[in-house]
């Protein structure tokens, strides 16, 4: 993990599943009304987070998990973890953390990767580090919900 990613992760705002606050790629709170990444033809941080929220919203197992967390006073956390910096040779992918938010700790469930150019979503399993296309992730989630 680079220093920039560590700093961004340390400064990120924890956002509930449908919260309004978001974190920008610099780790500074971003206002939804302005664009953090204004590169035409690429998704902004807000757009990447919105794609992940929409992808999660359509999954019954995630909705069930969110309800269980809320009933116990916890929440499902969705926050920007890594940026799609165009000045590097890295793939231009927004990395979005999805996990459980408890009062004293977080539990990572998945890392969503949103291609900043195509908008395609893949999910990295935190245990196996396997990258799965969204459809395959949904199939596996249905077989063994969190």
From first to last of its 146 residues, the chain has per-residue pLDDT tens of: 333 333 334 334 333 333 333 333 333 333 333 344 456 677 888 888 999 999 888 788 888 899 999 999 999 999 988 776 667 666 688 889 999 999 999 999 998 989 888 888 999 988 889 999 999 999 988 888 77
Please, what sign has the CA dihedral across residues 117, 119, 123, 126?
Answer: positive
CA neighbor of 113 nearest in space, from 83, 143, 88, 145? 83
Q: Distance (Å, rounded) from C-alpha 63 to C-alpha 53?
A: 11
d(CA 14, CA 27): 11
């Amino acid at each position: 993990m680079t220093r920039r990613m560590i700093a961004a992760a340390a400064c990120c705002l924890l956002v509930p599943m449908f919260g309004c606050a978001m974190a920008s790629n610099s780790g500074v709170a971003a206002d939804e009304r302005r664009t953090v990444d204004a590169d035409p033809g690429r998704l902004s941080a807000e757009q990447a987070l919105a794609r992940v929220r929409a992808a999660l919203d359509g999954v019954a197992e995630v909705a069930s998990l969110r309800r269980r967390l809320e009933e116990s006073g916890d929440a499902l956390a969705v926050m920007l973890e890594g940026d799609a910096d165009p000045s590097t040779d890295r793939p231009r992918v927004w990395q979005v953390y999805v996990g459980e938010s408890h009062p004293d700790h977080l539990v990572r469930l998945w890392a969503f990767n949103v291609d900043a150019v195509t908008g395609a979503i893949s999910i990295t399993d935190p245990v196996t580090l396997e990258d799965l296309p969204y459809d395959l992730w949904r199939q596996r989630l249905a077989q063994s919900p969190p």
